[in-house]
Chains A and B, each alone.
Chain A
Amino acid sequence: MAKHYGRGIAAVNYPTGMNLGGDPTQALIFCQPTGGFSVKLASTDLGQGLKTVIAQIAAETLGVPFDSVLVDTGDTDSAPHCMGTFASRGTHRVGNAVIMAANEARKALMDVAADEMEAAPEDLVLENGEIYVKGAPERKTNVFNVALAAHFKYGKTISGRGIYMKQKSSVDPETGACDPDSTEAHATTVAEVEVDDETGEVKVLRLSSAYEVGRQINPEMVHGQIVSGAVMGMAHALTETVFPYYPALDHHTHSFGEYIIPTALDIPEIESVVLEYPSSNGPYGVKGVGEMTANSPIPAIVNAIYDAVGVWVTDLPVTPEKVLRALEEKDQ
Chain B
Amino acid sequence: MESITITFKLNGKTTAVAVEPLTSLRSVLREHLHFHATKAGCGQGGCGSCTVLVNGESVLSCLMLAALADGQEVTTLEGIGTPQHMHPLQAAFFDKFAAQCGYCSPGMIMAAKALLDKNPHPTRAEIAEALAGNLCRCTGYVAILDAIEAVVTQMQEA
Interface residues of A (CB under 8 A from B): 46-49, 220-221, 223-224, 227-232, 255-257, 261-265, 267, 270
Contact = CB atoms under 8 A, between A and B. Distances in A.
A3 B26 CA distance: 44
Contacts of A231: 140-142
A49 B131 CA distance: 24
A255 B135 CA distance: 12
Contact of B141 (A220, A229, A255, A264): A264
Given A46-B101, A264-B134, A265-B128, A256 B141 contact: no
Nearest to A256: B46
Interface of B: 42, 44, 46-47, 97, 99-102, 127-129, 131-145
Given A263-B135, A264-B128, A48 B141 contact: no
B42 to A, nearest CB: 6
Contact of B100 (A49, A230, A257): A49
Contacts of B144: 264
A257 B131 contact: no
Nearest to A221: B97
Contacts of A220: 97
B127 to A, nearest CB: 8
B44 A224 contact: no
Top 6 closest A-B pairs, CB basis? A47-B101, A256-B46, A231-B140, A47-B100, A228-B140, A264-B128
A25 to B, nearest CB: 21
11 contacts: A47-B138, A49-B100, A223-B97, A229-B140, A256-B42, A256-B135, A257-B46, A263-B132, A263-B141, A264-B131, A267-B141
A270 B132 CA distance: 19
Nearest to A225: B100
A223 B142 CA distance: 11
A264 B97 contact: no
B88 to A, nearest CB: 19
A256 B140 contact: no
A265 B130 CA distance: 9
A241 to B, nearest CB: 16
Contact of B135 (A229, A261, A267, A270): A261
Contact of A227 (B46, B132, B135, B143): B143
